[in-house]
Amino acid sequence: MSDPTPAAAAPAGKKKSPILLIATIAVVAAGAAGGGAWFFLRSKGPAPVVEKKLSEHGLVKFEPFVVNLADDGNKRFLRASIQLVVESPKEALEFTEKPC
């Protein structure tokens, strides 16, 4: 008996595009980044209540100062007034009494 005709060769499969793989990896990476950001930046509940009032702390005031910013024509400047909050009024007196 003669050999039956050989089966037709299976058609060559199409190559999958690497774009699908890259897009899948990008979506998974974006999801992981968003989940990580949510985990680290989410609120941990209400902020703790500070028991001491600002009036119970000491306040050290510094003289206001002016700084010229480097621009053409010297039209811009920064005026700053700084106040430092310390633990007690006694510490505030130490700052003001000691010469720099």
pLDDT of residue 55: 66
Chain position carrying tokens 């003289």: 63
pLDDT of residue 53: 66
Q: Of all helices (H) and strands (E), which one includes residue 84?
A: strand 83-86
**74 domain-assigned:** yes
Q: Tell me which residue of 61, 64, 50 sits closest to 92, measured CA to CA.
A: 61
Domain holding 89, by residue range, is 54-97
- Number of structural domains the chain divides into: 1
**61 domain-assigned:** yes
pLDDT of residue 29: 93
**32 domain-assigned:** no
Q: Which tens digits make up the pLDDT trace of 5-27?
A: 555 555 566 666 788 888 999 99
**65 domain-assigned:** yes
Per-residue pLDDT of the chain (100 residues; tens, 9 = 90+): 555 555 555 556 666 678 888 899 999 999 999 888 888 887 676 666 655 566 678 888 889 999 888 777 777 888 999 988 888 888 888 888 877 6
**1 domain-assigned:** no
